[in-house]
C-alpha cells in the first residue's frame, strides 16, 4: 500500500514515481541556488549528488518510510521539481509532505497547489490518513506563505530541528491539515485553482 503508488495527475501536472531515469532531469531543474537557500542539503549541486539523493530516496521507499515523486509540468512537458510523502506512521495514520523543491520558473504558479491537492487527496482519501504535516525553515517566509495558502494550520516552532549546510541550527515551522479540515481545504484548493486557471483564459499553458 505504501510503496506502490501510481502517477498522481490532473490536466496540468503529473507527480510521477521517482526512478533512476529522473536523475539527469532533476539535476538540470535543480540548478538555481535560490532553491536550496533554506535547506539542509543541496541535492543538485552535482549530478553525482543528485544520483546519491535519488538512490537514497528509492532506498527509503523500499523501507516504506518515503514515497518520492518527480513533478512534471505538462505545459512544458518537463520535470520541474520533486516532492515526497515521508515520516509515514501507519498505526497512527499520520504522514508528512516534504522534500519539495520547484524550479523558479513554476514557483508562485498553479503547480505547487496542484501538486498539493493531488497529494492531499491521495493521503486522505486513499491512505485514509488522520493528519498530514508540513515543515519548513522558520525564516523561509515564501515557503511558509505557500503552506498557509494550501490550507494548513500553523502549530508551532520546533527548535534546533536540523543542521543546515553551513552548520547552523535550523528551527522548523510546523503545520498540519487533519481529517476534519480536509473537506473545507479541498473545496478551497479547487476554488483557488479554478480562479487561477480562469484568470489565464482557462488555459494555464498559454
DSSP conformation letters of 155-191: EEEEEEEEE-TTS-EEEEEEEEEETTTHHHHHHHHHH
Residues 6+ apart with CB under 8 A from 206: 200
Question: Does an H or E element contain 91, and which?
Answer: none
Domain residue limits, the chain:
8-199
Beta bridge partners of 69: 17, 83
pLDDT of residue 31: 96
Q: How far is CA 144 from CA 23, 53, 155, 156, 183, in A?
A: 28, 24, 12, 12, 22
Residue position matching grid coordinates 508540513: 134
Region for residue 93 given its phi and psi (left: phi exceeds 0; alpha: psi -120 to 50; beta: otherwise): left
- The confidence score (pLDDT) of residue 200 equals 60
Question: Cell triple for residue 181?
Answer: 479540515
pLDDT mean values, one per 10 residues, the chain (206 residues): 84 96 98 92 95 97 95 95 96 97 92 96 97 97 95 97 90 98 97 78 56
Count of C-beta atoms within a 10 Å radius of residue 56: 13
Query: What element of type H or E holds 115?
Result: helix 110-125
Which CATH architecture does the domain made up of 8-199 adopt? 3-Layer(aba) Sandwich (3.40)
Per-residue pLDDT at 206: 55
Round to whole Å and give the CA distance between 54 and 2.
Answer: 18
Amino acid at each position: 500500500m505504501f510503496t506502490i503508488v501510481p502517477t498522481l495527475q490532473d490536466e496540468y501536472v503529473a507527480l510521477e514515481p521517482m526512478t533512476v531515469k529522473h536523475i539527469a532531469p532533476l539535476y538540470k531543474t535543480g540548478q538555481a541556488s535560490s532553491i536550496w537557500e533554506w535547506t539542509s542539503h543541496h541535492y543538485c549541486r552535482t549530478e553525482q549528488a543528485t544520483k546519491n539523493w535519488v538512490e537514497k530516496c528509492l532506498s527509503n521507499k523500499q523501507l516504506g518510510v518515503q514515497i518520492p515523486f518527480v513533478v512534471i509540468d505538462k505545459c512544458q512537458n518537463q520535470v520541474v521539481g520533486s516532492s515526497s510523502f515521508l515520516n509515514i506512521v501507519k498505526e497512527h495514520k499520520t504522514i508528512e509532505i516534504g522534500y519539495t523543491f520547484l524550479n523558479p520558473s513554476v514557483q508562485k504558479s498553479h503547480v505547487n497547489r496542484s501538486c498539493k491537492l493531488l497529494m492531499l487527496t491521495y493521503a486522505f482519501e486513499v491512505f485514509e490518513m488522520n493528519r498530514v504535516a508540513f515543515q519548513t525553515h522558520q525564516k523561509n517566509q515564501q515557503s511558509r506563505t505557500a503552506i498557509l495558502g494550501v490550507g494548513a494550520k500553523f502549530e508551532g516552532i520546533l527548535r534546533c530541528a536540523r543542521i543546515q549546510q553551513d552548520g547552523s541550527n535550523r528551527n522548523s515551522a510546523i503545520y498540519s491539515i487533519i481529517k476534519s479540515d480536509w473537506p473545507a481545504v479541498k473545496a478551497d484548493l479547487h476554488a483557488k485553482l479554478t480562479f487561477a486557471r480562469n484568470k489565464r483564459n482557462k488555459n494555464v499553458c498559454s
